Amino acid sequence: MSQSDAHSRAARVAALSGGSSGIGRAIAGAFRARGWKVALGARREERVRATVADLGGASDELYGGRLDVTDAASIDAFYDAARAALGPIDLVVNCAAHARPGAFFELSPEEIRSEIDSGLVGALLFSRRGVRDMLERGMRGDLIFISSTTAVVPWPFHTPYAASKAGVEQAARSISLELEGTGIRSTIVQVGNTVGTGWAGDWDAESMSVGVRWQKLGLIRHDGFMQPENVAHAVAVAVSTPPGFQLDLVSVHPEAPKA
């Protein structure tokens, strides 16, 4: 067995925010398929319970709990319970985020603040606790920041979300330098157009119609879209690289349908 194979199959204990639906849920499934322990959290407890049940039920290898990444106390409670159930965590995945399309000047101050808080501030707070625990134990580990094409391509009618993802990417790069020499790696996974996430489940008709504008601007160029499982595969590959090097940025985009 090569060093790469051995590392990819080594036992990991992962903490995921936004783990009850969409990409987060797919990542949890991919990790469990590799035999890794997973703690998944989200704000809606009923979704957390359903996801845990779908993945085999709560055990000493799978934990689910309520998690609000904008609340430091909620994060601490989640990590404490996850560590008690599964052991020390060495893999942190930031998936929590939400958004509603629209012209930024028509969004309420609360909506703008909520998107920034969940997508950017939440990622920093959730990672902060994970890093502190790993450093305290002298553990190697990985931080994954789920980002989006909106971080680097101007994406109108998604301004607060795009701003939060641009901030996440810069934070991830800065964190990587802060953690040099610790054995803890920081990786951005930048995601292109994906369906099947349930992310737009609460968008109204007006919000959904903005997709036509995105198509006209060339932001949606073809009918090819990824599924959450495609992104989960990329994340699993990124965190399975052996010690000694890291993937700073993994950009995952859908392939156009073959003509």
**What is the number of domains present in the chain?**
1
Note the pLDDT tens digit of each residue in 150-170. Answer: 999 988 989 999 999 999 999
Q: Does 257 map to a domain?
A: no
- State the average pLDDT over residues 247-253: 93
Three-state DSSP class for residue 91: strand
Q: Which residues are catalytic?
A: 161
Question: Does residue 23 carry a pLDDT above 70?
Answer: yes
Distance between CA atoms of 115 and 100, rounded to whole angstroms? Answer: 9
Q: If 0-12 CB within 10 Å is exposed, 13-18 middle and 19+ buried, where does residue 218 land?
A: exposed
Query: Which of 239, 164, 255 has its CA nearest to residue 9?
Result: 239
Q: Which two tokens stand for residue 227?
A: 């599924």
In a domain, 26, yes or no: yes
The answer to whether residue 156 sits within a structural domain is yes
17-26 average pLDDT score: 93
| pTM metric for this prediction | 0.89
CATH number of 156's domain: 3.40.50.720
Asked if the structure places residue 44 within a domain, the reply is: yes
Q: Which pLDDT score, from 0 to 100, does residue 4 have? A: 41
Q: Flag whether 105 is in a domain.
A: yes
CB atoms within 10 A of CB 257: 9
- Give the amino acid at 246: Q
Beta-carbon contacts of 133 under 8 Å, excluding residues fewer than 6 positions away, are 79, 83, 88, 89
Domain that holds residue 123: 3-252
Partner residues linked to 226 by β-bridges = 194
What is the pLDDT, as a whole number, of residue 202?
59
Q: What is the mean pLDDT of the chain?
A: 90
164 belongs to a structural domain:
yes
